[in-house]
Structure formats: C-alpha cells, structure tokens
Chains A and B, each alone.
Chain A
Amino acid sequence: MKPQVVKNYQFPQSKEQMPFGPGSEAGVLIEINSGWRNLRPVINQEKCTRCLICWLLCPDGVISKDTPQLEIDYDFCKGCGLCAYECPRKTIVMEKEG
C-alpha cells in the first residue's frame, strides 16, 4: 500500500493548531502529482515477468510489488516513462492521457 494523500487536509485554523516552530510529523501528503503527467504507463500484465526493474528504478516509487500484480499508483506517477524505457521486455507502454 502506497502512502495516501490526507483526505480533506485542514490547514491550521488557529494559533493552537500551528506546529511548534518549523517541525511537523513526517510523511504528510496533501496533494497528488498526477497533474504532471501527459503519458500514462500501462503494464501488460500477461507479458510481465516481475523482474522488478521498473519497481526498482521508478524515481517516484509509484509501483507496488507486494501485490498479486505490479500496480501503479496513478495519483503520484508523473509519467516520466523511465519504467517503460528500462523494461527489458517492453511490457510497459506509455499511453496518451485523455
């Protein structure tokens, strides 16, 4: 399971809700990155041999391996195409975003 965006993130509404100084809990995501994407990677699951090269090299870590099939988190995939380019069997294709 990839980290999720905090649903309905609330900015501090009062002094008391402010963090104490510039420090907060780690791992707080309030917005997704899918808007960066022009091309969307799609895995051909039938051809995929789970070599995990795409999982390993993804700069954004959006591919899950502890799932029955490799899954892409399209909330955070920026569409760089590195996974498709490096896939040894070319089982990932970059499709135009609608």
Chain B
Amino acid sequence: MEKKHFLSGDEAVAFAVKLCRPHVIAAYPITPQTVIVEKISEFVASGEMDCQYLHVESEHSAMAACMGASLMGSRTFTATSSQGLLYMCEMLHYVSGSRYPIVMVNANRTIAAPWNIFGDHRDSLSQRDSGWIQFYVENAQEALDVTIQAYKIAEDPKVSLPVMINLDGYVLTHTYELVDVPPQELVDQFLPAFQTTNKLDFEKPKSLSFSAPPEWQTEFRFQQFEAMEIAKEVINQVDKEFGRVFGRTYGGLIHEYCCRDADYVLVAMGSVAGTARIVVDQLRAKGKKVGLVKLRSYRPFPKEYFQDLGQRVQAVGVIDRDISFGYEGAVYSDVKAALYRPGAQVKTVNFIAGLSGRDITKENLAQMYEPLEALALGEKVSEIQFTGLRWT
C-alpha cells in the first residue's frame, strides 16, 4: 500500500532516492537543494538506507565522484542548484559524453549576479547542451515519481544517458503537500538493480572516457544524438509502465490541458503549470478556447509534438523563466523553431516571467492569454514581453 506523507518537494525527492537504492551519494549543500542531502543523510544514519554517503568538497567533485562510482557499476545520486550546477558544468559533459546514467536533482534557482537564492530556470537552461536529459516537474508528487522513472530511463541500455530532474526552488522544494510514497517492493519490481557494461572490468580491463581524434568524434556525438532520440520513446514508455504499476502517469514528454480544441495555448515548464491550469479553467468558463502545454522534457525536446501543434492552433505563448540575452527566452526559441513548419500559420509570443523567484500570479497568466487572443484575431503584439516589468 502507498503511504501518504506530508512532504516538501526536497523531502519527496529524498524518499524517492531511498526507494531507488543507490550505492553512492555525493552530497554538497546549496540552497534550496540542501534539504535533499540532509534528509538522505538521516536515512543513512538511521540505517534506512544502505549506501556510501560522500561529503564532497564541491559540486565539481560531487559529479566527479558520481562518475567514479558509476564507472565501477554503482547507482549514484547527487543534487545541486544554481551556482553549484554551473560549478559542475565541466563534469556534466564528461558524464554524458561517457554515457554514465547518473541521476541528479537540480533545485532551480537563479544565477548571480544579481545574486539571490530564489527560483528561475536560468541555471538548468544554461546547461541545455550538456547532453543531459532534463525534466521539469510541477509538484512534489511528480518530483518523487519522476526521480524513480529517471533511473529507469537513464539506465535503459539503449539510452544510457544522465538525467537531471528540475524542481522549482522554494515553490516546490520548500512547500509541503500530501505525497504518496510507494512501497519498496513495488519500486524494486519497477526498477531492478543497476546493470551496465559501461564499467571497468577486471577480467578484461577497459579504457573508459578515452580521447577521440577528429576522425572519430563525430561518430561518438552521433551516438549521443541517437540515444536522445531513442530516449523520447523510452520516456513515454516508462511513464506508461509507471502508470500500470503505481497508478499515476504524466504524459511523457509533454502534458496537454484543454488543447484538443484550443485556439491558443500557453507553454510552460515546472510549477507554474498548476496555476496556469486554474486560469485555463477560468477562461474556459468565459468561453475562451484556451489550453496549456506543460513541457516536461526539455531535452530530449518533443519537436514532433510541437510541429503538430503548430498545425492545430492559431497562437502559442511560451513562458520562459529565463532569457538568452541578445535573443529571447531559450524555451521560446526551441518551441518556435518546431512550430514553424512550412505552411504553418501559427503566431507566437514569448513571456519572460518569474525571474529570480518573482511570482507568476493567476492575473499574470490570465493577461498572457490576452495577446494570444489578439494574435489569433490577426492583430499585432510585441513578440518579447516581460511580465510584471515596472517600466521599459
């Protein structure tokens, strides 16, 4: 039987990690992730978790230690946030390029300067090209469930890629909700012990993470590209299988709300999706044909889905909790590129919102649908809009 616990998002992750039985945890504190490694340390101290818990001296070393453990055939976990994610950036590439299926949670927090500890997606989006699968979750339950799914996806031999689960700082990491914690037996059934051939071998020694000259780099990069393509299917399959075992599914790469007959939709990642659904309900009640697309997997990116969406709706707005200075929101660029197939008539607008922990309110969201409606009616609106900006 599943047990209901009143947990914060960070605690829900810690419970998930315990259920996945990693051999090695590398822990380094950073707000707002710290509760995860604190809670895990309690599990280890009380004997509820049987694993090696390393107090590393930096995030770079956290990821390096996970890499060392993974290449010995161990399941690993670490968590970080913001500056910490940037500090381990070099290792992110080493791990993905070497195909070690490490799972990590990133508590989304802005990047200095200006410094603060509150949430946006500028940390993880800056690591878009690091070769990691990136999930964005909406609530503590999804955080727990996706952490369990993540190991299954990462360790699938056809995928063998690291996974980063992104959890909005404070809004998810530090707020409490009732969370179903599945029983260990069910998780063991869903997630078997880690098996890999991508490890050192004492019968037939190996050279791992070797250097490849220009003549061979492209072939190895193609392998990573292909693995990400395969991951799209595996993510959807694992979500379905998770549903069969645990009774909860999330839609795989994306989750649609009221999109089937929608004229215009918003695209959002992370916790704001929950608020946005309430706004969709309110606008639907007024007869507006609005919808919401929750983008769950940023990499691999559900290109095919958006190509299709561009044929179905008249206008798409993308909420970016980040900005790529000199262009536009990073998510917007990707969505737009997929939407605009030849002949697509869809119009788009980018909302830069929720930077550094600023709330995205229901009013903000309702106002985002207004320029979308205008676009659908053929009017012109400015393409990049900063939500709640005091002045321009």
Contacts and interface: CB of A to CB of B under 8 A. Distances in A.
Given A18-B219, A18-B223, A23 B210 contact: yes
A21 B198 CA distance: 8
Contacts of A20: 99, 160, 197-198, 223
Interface in B215-257: 219-220, 223
Contacts of A25: 204-207
Contacts of B209: 22-23
Of the candidates A12, A20, A22, A26, the one having the most CB atoms from chain B within 10 angstroms of its own CB is A22
B68 interface: no
Interface residues of B, number: 18
Nearest to A22: B210
A22 B212 CA distance: 7
Interface residues on A, range: 10 to 19
Nearest to A23: B208
Interface in A15-45: 18, 20-27
Contacts of B97: 21-22
A27 B97 CA distance: 22
Nearest to A28: B207
A23 B219 contact: no
B198 A26 contact: no
A23 B212 contact: no
Given A21-B99, A21-B223, A27 B197 contact: no
B98 interface: yes
B205 A27 contact: yes
B207 A26 contact: yes
Interface in B186-219: 197-198, 204-212, 219
A24 B207 contact: yes
A92 B366 CA distance: 88
14 contacts: A18-B219, A18-B220, A18-B223, A20-B99, A21-B98, A21-B160, A22-B98, A22-B211, A23-B198, A23-B208, A24-B206, A25-B207, A26-B205, A26-B206
Interface of B: 97-99, 160, 197-198, 204-212, 219-220, 223
Given A21-B98, A23-B99, A25-B207, 15 more contacts: A18-B219, A20-B99, A20-B223, A21-B97, A21-B198, A21-B220, A22-B98, A22-B208, A22-B211, A23-B207, A23-B210, A24-B206, A24-B207, A24-B210, A26-B206
